[in-house]
Amino acid sequence: MSATSHDNGNSRSLDRLLPLILLPVGLIALGPVVRLLLEGIGFGDGFTTDHLTTILTRDSTRTALMHSLLTAGGGTVLSMLIGAAFAFLVALTDMRGKGALVFCLMIPMMIPPQITALAWMQMTGPSSVLLKTLGIAPPLGSPQPLHSATGIIILLGIQHASLVFLTLRAGLRMIPADLVEAARMSGAGAFRVWAQTVLPLSMPSLIAGGAMAFVTALGNFGIPAMLGIPARYSTLPTLIYQRLVGMGPSVLPEVAVLALLIGTVAIVGVLLSRFMLLRRGFGLVGLSGTPLALSLGRARLPVEITLWAFIFAILALPLFALLATSVIPAYGVPLTFDSATLKAWVDVLFVQPVTRRAYGNSLFLATLAAVILMAISLPLAWLMERRANRLSRTIDALIDLPYALPGVVLSIACILTFLDLPFTDLTLYGTIWIILMAYLARFFVVMLRPIQASLAQLDPAMEEAAASVGAHLGRRLRDIVLPLAAPSAAAGAILVFLTAVNELTVSALLWSSGTETLGVVIYNLEDSGETVMASALAMSIVVLIIVLMGLVQAGAKRFPKGVIPWQS
Amino acid sequence: MAELTFSNLTKRFGGVPALDGINAAIGAGEFVALLGPSGCGKTTLLRLTAGFEQPDEGVIRIGGDTVAGAGRFVPPEVREIGIVFQSYALWPHKSVAGNVSYPLEVRRIPRAERVARVAEALDLTGLRDFADRMPSQLSGGQRQRVALARCLVFEPRAVLLDEPLANLDLALRASMQDVFSMFHRRTGATMLYVTHDQSEALALADRVAVMEEGRIRQFAAPEVLYREPADCFVAGFVGDGAVVPARLTGRSEPGRVLLSVLGQDIWCRSSTNAPSHVSIRPEAITLSDDAPLRARVSSCTYLGGRFRLVLDAEGEALVAFAPQRAAIGETVGVRIRDPWAFRDPAAQTLMADALTHA
């Protein structure tokens, strides 16, 4: 019996120790956000709302806020148009080649916004290599048309269309097929069914998708930075960036207020959409799951051609333009078979210390973030699924926050938190570790949700069977839970890696010399006129991303439902 | 092999008792079935025994060790109890041999011995040729055998089976019943078998505990349950036949009592001299034209070789077997021989109520 009580002690102590991981998780994920809130009410120099009112009444703040609302709003409308058109056609009709189409529509979401902006700039304007090669470039001296509010709106709209698409398609799949069949039995044609049955029923998901697109567009830094800053058109994220880069940490209290302002606008947007959803909620009763396939009839081929042409225009053309710019010897030289060279690629990948360092930093940060998050998320997800208590449920509900809030908000929050580590003289600001902390907070939910999904589908009897044959908690987690959740964990890790490698918004404010990330370097290269190198670097990242997405796609059958974001 | 003892065991879910004062002792090497309708608490009792749930009151002992209750709780992994789940719960990422050898790996059994014991367990369950298959490549019956092999390989103190045949088709159930019997004979393991199917329970178990609403109504050998049910629930739930209220005539002999049943005075087997009901099995009824008790045929079903008749006699539904078909609505004579009379605990309170209101 002594062996029994000894083992007994072992497994129980792990049972008691495991909940302790909730503490660092809560601190890393939610600590910075709380710290930012405190800063807004004057934490540190006595509680005051003075600088709150000063900054909010400044002209520059008001202009940036108006620009932010205009570009994010306009981009959202465009996203909803594109996303909804694709979602309705893909989810409801008998179109062919849906899988490939969806995959291509997802690529803009996965490509970093500053690369999107760079690519589009290579497609338009007087110095476009592609246009010059084709001989249709506008005359020199004419303005780059994308350096404007319209340009920002178009690119934001394209970048976030897939968010609307995914939400709406998931909603459309919930509509019971018999509702549509009932409408058809009542004599309604395909268009009538769509307009009078499907459209009203899918309104909630369209609104939810629009809200997501709005919040994401509001926090987007890459596109307004590349297109707006040259045109002196500032939005809130670029205003924060310019202040902080120009003046240093002394303006922290000021930019904290601006960050809170974006956060507030984002939350108001979400609440507004919730309010609209409340008034439009339908209880859907019936069998869902049967995919609808309304026949397009003779319109099928033209519709397919139109959609693919659109994909070609928003995805292939800009990437071609980017590729064209990346293989010329110097900016301004036209692209011919003789002038084409891989010099910029070689420079970027092997020669230039800055780009090599950026590759190293980004890969290091992305890998480390993925590994750490995987290691924490597995036991955490298990804890939330099998041993739920009030604390774990609270963290579960709030952990979306650092991901949902605009990236600049999180960056400012992280600077405030880690500038002076509590109880020490140490600072993480200016080191690579502050970027890592921000990544951990931001991408937690990207890692956690897939693992949660797979654990929720795991029969508890699997673990009970292991317990009954003598495996204590540690062994059960290692031998049973880990291997069965591994495919989802791998998918989650790749997603974290993808998102982190892409990332600019957070690191734009947190980098310093030596800790540049890929996103930062692309922006800096373009900013200093090294467009060819920027293009080569951007193109190499696009290739990396498409390969990684392809890897996830190839393993799609092994993941439970809901793990891969572009396959709901 | 160890005996299992439950003393005053109570388990509540959200204040509602799922088990209500269970007292039972299962001998070492005994095969016991827990039989009852869904929601009667039989699976809860099994999960408490395995250690997946903690009792609110009472004590569970395995081979003399207290594993739950009296301030002690031994977690499932150190109870040395095997369990076969309804869903089999085979680990999909391990092969058949991998599933079966896992309990030995956890116990750090040396490799050579492990291989030998896994082979022995696979032989015993007829899985020798399937050792390298993955669970997804097996049929339902084969998965069940793997689950059984996985639990026999570490020689547990007791084996629990949770509706193990519920997911199998009829033909497979019969053959798996043989496997369980063989398994029990060969290993002599203490086995606790949860089922809602009385034919499984009666066919397999040494003793059956009939449960209802968190209590054990009767715990006895199958033939005793059938011939001498303790109350109306057991009489109605186990076996075919009718349960009919009876009136005392005042005459009794040791082991027998004369009762007025359906207007007839009938000598009944009984262990009490004040029974309230009789259980009339189909075998206790003979149809004869000159019998004084008349009954109307209300249904007639062919069972293969004989017919099952439902008869309406004095407003009670009796069940009888007949060698030939009877027309519905036809009147037949019924003779009842040697039924079992018992005192239903609920009837007692009903009578008491009637007396106070009178």
Q: Please state the domain extents for chain B.
A: 4-232, 240-357
Per-residue pLDDT at A3: 36
Count other Cβ atoms within 10 Å, centred on residue B94: 19
Tell me: the pLDDT tens digits for A303-332? 889 999 998 888 888 888 888 888 877 777
- In chain A, which residue's Cα lies nearest the Cα of B87? A461
A136, pLDDT greater than 80: no
Per-residue pLDDT at A230: 84
Interface touch A469/B79, C-beta < 8 Å: no
Average pLDDT over residues A256-285: 77
Average pLDDT over residues A211-225: 87
The CATH number for A232's domain is 1.10.3720.10
B353, pLDDT greater than 70: no
Contact A185/B at CB under 8 A = no
Tell me: the pLDDT tens digits for B325-348? 989 999 999 999 889 999 888 765
Q: How close does chain B come to A547, measured CA to CA in Å?
A: 28
Interface touch B91/A465, C-beta < 8 Å: yes
Q: Is the pTM higher than 0.90?
A: no
* Residue in A11, A470, A484 closest to B103 by CB: A470
Per-residue pLDDT at B100: 93
Q: How close does chain B come to A435, measured CA to CA in Å?
A: 37
B6, pLDDT greater than 90: yes
Structural domain boundaries, residue A271: 46-287+299-309
* Residue in B75, B82, B87 closest to A11 by CB: B75
* Residue in B74, B91, B154 closest to A480 by CB: B91
Per-residue pLDDT at B5: 92
Interface touch A1/B65, C-beta < 8 Å: yes
Contact A466/B at CB under 8 A = yes
Contacts of B148 in chain A (CB under 8 A): none
Candidate from A60-64, B177-181, B354-358 with smallest mean pLDDT: B354-358
Tell me: the pLDDT tens digits for A64-110? 899 999 999 999 999 999 999 988 888 888 888 888 888 888 888 77
Tell me: the pLDDT tens digits for A43-59? 555 556 666 777 777 88
Span B4-232: which CATH code?
3.40.50.300
Nearest to A540 by CA among A308, A340, A363, A313: A363
Contacts of A461 in chain B (CB under 8 A): 85, 87, 89
Q: How close does chain A come to B335, measured CA to CA in Å?
A: 52
Number of domains in chain A: 1
Q: How many CB pairs under 8 A join A and B?
A: 77
Cα maximum dimension of chain A: 91
Burial class (CB in 10 A: 0-12, 13-18, 19+), A317: middle
Q: How close does chain A come to B90, measured CA to CA in Å?
A: 7
Between residues B30 and A457, the one the model is more confident about: B30
Ranges A186-195, A206-215, A292-301, B295-304, most confident = B295-304
Q: What's the per-residue H, E or C state across B13-79?
A: ECCEEEEEEEEEEECCCCEEEEECCCCCCHHHHHHHHHCCCCCCEEEEEECCEEEEECCEECCHHHC
**Model ipTM value:** 0.80
Task: With respect to residue A64, please indicate whether it lies within any of the assigned structural domains.
Answer: yes
User: A interface mutation test: which of B77, B108, B157 has the most A CBs within 10 A?
Assistant: B77
CB A221 within 8 A of CB A508: yes
Return residues 1-40 of A near B (CB < 8 Å): 1, 4, 7-8, 11-12
3-state helix, strand, coil in chain A (%, to 5): 75, 0, 25
Residues 6+ apart with CB under 8 A from A563: A450, A453, A454, A487, A488, A491, A492
Count other Cβ atoms within 10 Å, centred on residue A504: 26
Q: How close does chain B come to A66, measured CA to CA in Å?
A: 54
CATH class of B240-357: mainly beta
Angle at CA of residue A320, ends A317 and A324, nearest 5°: 140
Candidate from A111-120, A177-186, B129-138 with smallest mean pLDDT: A177-186
Contacts of B64 in chain A (CB under 8 A): none
DSSP string computed for A337-400: TTT---HHHHIIIII-HHHHHHHHHHHHHHHHHHHHHHHHHHHHHHHHHHS--HHHHHHHHHTT
Q: How close does chain A come to B185, measured CA to CA in Å?
A: 22
* Residue in B74, B83, B92 closest to A468 by CB: B83
Tell me: the pLDDT tens digits for A4-39? 333 444 445 677 777 777 887 887 778 888 888 877
B327 vs B108: CA distance, rounded Å: 69
Q: Buried b / exposed e across A203-229, counting CB within 10 Å, b at 16+?
A: bbbbbbbbbbbbbbbbbbbbbbbbbbb
Between residues B144 and A296, the one the model is more confident about: B144
B92 vs A297: CA distance, rounded Å: 45
Going edge to edge, which strands form the sheet with B277-280?
B242-245, B277-280, B340-342, B264-270, B256-261, B247-253
- In chain B, which residue's Cα lies nearest the Cα of A467? B77
What one-letter code names the amino acid at B272?
T
> Considering Cα of B89, then B90, then B91, then B92, what sign does the dihedral take?
negative
Count other Cβ atoms within 10 Å, centred on residue B47: 19
Between residues A201 and B247, the one the model is more confident about: B247
DSSP string computed for A67-91: HHHHHHHHHHHHHHHHHHHHHHHHH
Please provide the average confidence, as pLDDT, over all residues in chain A: 80
Tell me: the pLDDT tens digits for B197-252? 888 899 889 999 999 999 999 999 999 999 999 999 999 898 888 999 988 888 88
Average pLDDT over residues B49-78: 89
Nearest to B161 by CA among B31, B249, B60: B31
Interface touch A465/B85, C-beta < 8 Å: yes
Residue A153: which pLDDT band, with cuts at 50, 70 and 90? very high
Per-residue pLDDT at A209: 85
A563 vs A446: CA distance, rounded Å: 10
Torsion of the alpha carbons at A224, A226, A232 and A238, rounded to the nearest 10: 50
Average pLDDT over residues B39-43: 89
Interface touch A467/B52, C-beta < 8 Å: yes
